[in-house]
Amino acid sequence: MIASEETFRRLMTKAQAGDKLCYSSLLTECEKWLRRYYARKINPAAIDDLVQETLISLHRKRASYDPARPFLPWLAAIGRYRWIDSLRKIYRHEHDQLYEDMVADPQDETVTAKVSLARLLDMLPPKQAEVISLVKIEGLSIIEASAKTGQSESLVKVNIHRGLKKLSSMVESE
């Protein structure tokens, strides 16, 4: 069971005031939320690092959360920022398929659905989203992605580059 928006907000407000107990609960809940958020949107081998990097970012940038506003859209913006950063670093995954038993992003709440990574990917032109998914998330090589999509190798590279650039500009889009 993952905490509600209201619980997140309350814990974060107390954490900003220096309450370590609340902060520990907050980070534990955020870790759970982020694992589901990133599931199937990054190679499983990279999830641990990505979740940790996002939690460290949350820690470093905790003053940028405004207690008067919802918490999850703030966490999701930081999560998307770190995710795109992580996609940029990945060129060839060690694993060539996703763990099928991983839970996809949580879609059960309106707020969560609006901030999901799938929604962000859907905003890309289909050809860009397709090659990013194949190469950066599923771990195919450029040659394999080219054969699968019918795009030339250089077009796959260009579409990945353009797609990631576009994702960066849309981090805060719903």
Partner 1 sequence: MSDMMIDRLVEDLTPVKPLKNRNGFALTLAMAAIVAALVVMIAGIRGDILMGMPHPMFFLRGGVLLLLGLTSSYAVIAMSQPAVGNSFKGWIWALAAALLFPATAAVMAVSARPDDMAILVPRYGMECLGVSMLAGLGIAAAQVLWLRRGAPVALERAGWLVGMSSGALGAAAYSLHCPFNSIFYVGLWYSLAVALCAIGGRLLVPRLIRW
Rounded to the nearest 10 degrees, the angle between the axes of helix 72-89 and helix 44-60 is 130
Among 3, 11, 46, 55, binds partner 1 (CB under 8 A): 55
Among 28, 97, 107, 152, binds partner 1 (CB under 8 A): 28
CA–CA dist 156, 69 (Å, integer): 39
Among 66, 96, 109, 153, binds partner 1 (CB under 8 A): 66
Specify the residue for token string 């990013």.
132
Residue 43's region, left for phi above 0, alpha for psi from -120 to 50, else beta, is beta
CA–CA dist 44, 122 (Å, integer): 21
Site string for partner 1, 70-89 (x = CB under 8 A): x--xx-xxx-xx--------
Smallest distance, Å, CB 107 to partner 1? Answer: 15
Among 6, 45, 61, 118, binds partner 1 (CB under 8 A): 61
Please say which residue, 121 or 145, places its beta carbon nearer to partner 1: 121
CB 37 within 8 A of CB 116: yes
Site string for partner 1, 139-168 (x = CB under 8 A): -----------------------------x
* Cβ neighbour number for residue 173 with a 10 Å cutoff: 12
122: exposed, middle or buried (C-beta count within 10 Å: 0-12, 13-18, 19+)? Answer: exposed
The residues that touch partner 1, with contacts defined as CB under 8 A, are 15-18, 20, 23-24, 27-28, 31, 48, 51-52, 55-57, 59-67, 69-70, 73-74, 76-78, 80-81, 114-115, 168-174
